[in-house]
Structures are given as C-alpha cells and as structure tokens.
C-alpha cells in the first residue's frame, strides 16, 4: 500500500508537470510583475532617491498582484474536468490535497517571482544590504500568499463570480505580510534593525501554515459534494 507521504509527493509532481505543460500561466505572472514594476518609474519620475524609498512597497505590491493571476485555476481546472472527485479519493485527507496543490503553486509561481525580484530591486537602486532582506521576506511572504490564495480559491470554488470574490478575500488577509515585508526592507536600507519585522512575517506564515490547508480542504469537500 502506498503511504501518505508518497501520495503527497506524487500529487505534487503531477501538479508541477501540469504547470510545466501550461507554462503560459507562469509566464503571464512573470510578465505582469516585471511590466507593472517598470511602470512606476514612468509615473513617479526619474528621481533615484524617490524610487529607492518606494522600491520595497512597489516590489511587494507587484508580487502580491502577480501571485493572484493563476489562483482562479488552482482548483478550477479539476472541478471543470471532474478530476477533483478523483483527487478527493486518492487516499490523502482533503487538507493534504490542498497543501500539495498550494506547494505546487508556490514552486511554479512564487519561486519565479522571488527570483525576478532581485533584478527589479537593482533597477530601483535598492542598496545591496537591503536586497537579501527583500528576498528573505519575499520567500516567507510568497509562501504565505500561496497559502492564503489557495484557501480563498478553494472557498470560492464553484461559486458564481468566484474570480471577482477571490481578490476580495485574498487582499485583506495578505495585508499583514505586505506590511511586515516592506517594513523590513525599509528598515534595512535605513540602517535600522530589520529582524523584528521578519520575525513577525515568519509568525504570520506559521499561523497560516496549519490553518489555510484545513480551510481549503473544507472548501474542496464542499465543492466535491
């Protein structure tokens, strides 16, 4: 009999393979992130000091909005083709199924956004000492965003106008991650202690890690019944 960890890895590998086959979703999120961030210098002007001061908030907001783009298909594709019922019968608890798909979302969307954030930060003239803080905060923050987004995507699954409801659920819940992450980078480039903000961001992720898959699993069970 196949154990639960092996089933979890198989489901994760399946979703990563599907993401690779539909790489246009990841590419769209990356292009949105880069283009949206590139528009801010045109709107704010060429002042290096202003762009440097605004850089943490710009990168975080663009990453948050870009991570929202593939969420409506996170569980929607399985609901449309009927494979959601098969996933619920794969031998894993519903929260574990949701967690596997959330992990695949982060690996296929959050991780590329994290890698693209370094060049964007350099474009805005962010000091070298602040870039590791930005990347560390985004590593925690994008994980939290994937968890919150996966929970919201499961809750609105099958609902009318779910694509409209999804950002309305995600954006308020993701606000603490945005605040702590941007504040850590701002503190780093000001020469202040940035550890408290990252610790708060880590605490936010630690709270989302057990709660979001449970809520997402409940949404999946409701949608499959």
Q: Which of 77, 91, 217 is nearest to 154 (CA)?
A: 217
pLDDT at 1: 42
User: Which residues in the chain show pLDDT less than 50?
Assistant: 1
Tell me the pLDDT tens digit for each residue of 123-143.
Answer: 888 888 899 999 999 999 999
Q: Residue 185's domain spans which residues?
A: 4-224
Tell me the pLDDT tens digit for each residue of 178-191.
Answer: 999 999 999 998 88
**Count of the separate structural domains present in the chain:** 1
């Amino acid at each position: 009999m196949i154990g639960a960890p092996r089933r979890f890895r198989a489901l994760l590998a399946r979703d990563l393979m599907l993401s690779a086959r539909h790489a246009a979703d990841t590419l769209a999120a990356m292009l949105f992130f880069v283009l949206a961030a590139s528009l801010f210098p045109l709107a704010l002007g060429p002042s290096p000091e202003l762009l440097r001061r605004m850089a943490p908030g710009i990168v975080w907001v663009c990453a948050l909005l870009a991570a929202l783009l593939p969420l409506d298909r996170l569980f929607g594709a399985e609901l449309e083709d009927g494979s959601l019922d098969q996933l619920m019968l794969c031998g894993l608890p519903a929260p574990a199924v949701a967690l596997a798909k959330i992990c695949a979302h982060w690996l296929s969307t959050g991780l590329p956004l994290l890698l693209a954030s370094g060049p964007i930060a350099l474009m805005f003239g962010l000091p070298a000492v602040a870039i590791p803080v930005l990347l560390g905060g985004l590593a925690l923050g994008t994980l939290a965003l994937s968890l919150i987004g996966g929970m919201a995507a499961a809750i609105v699954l099958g609902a009318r106008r779910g694509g409209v409801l999804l950002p309305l659920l995600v954006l308020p819940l993701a606000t603490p991650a945005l605040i702590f992450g941007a504040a850590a980078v701002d503190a780093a480039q000001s020469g202040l202690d940035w550890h408290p903000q990252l610790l708060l961001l880590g605490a936010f992720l630690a709270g989302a890690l057990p709660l979001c898959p449970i809520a997402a699993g409940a949404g999946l069970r409701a949608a499959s019944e």
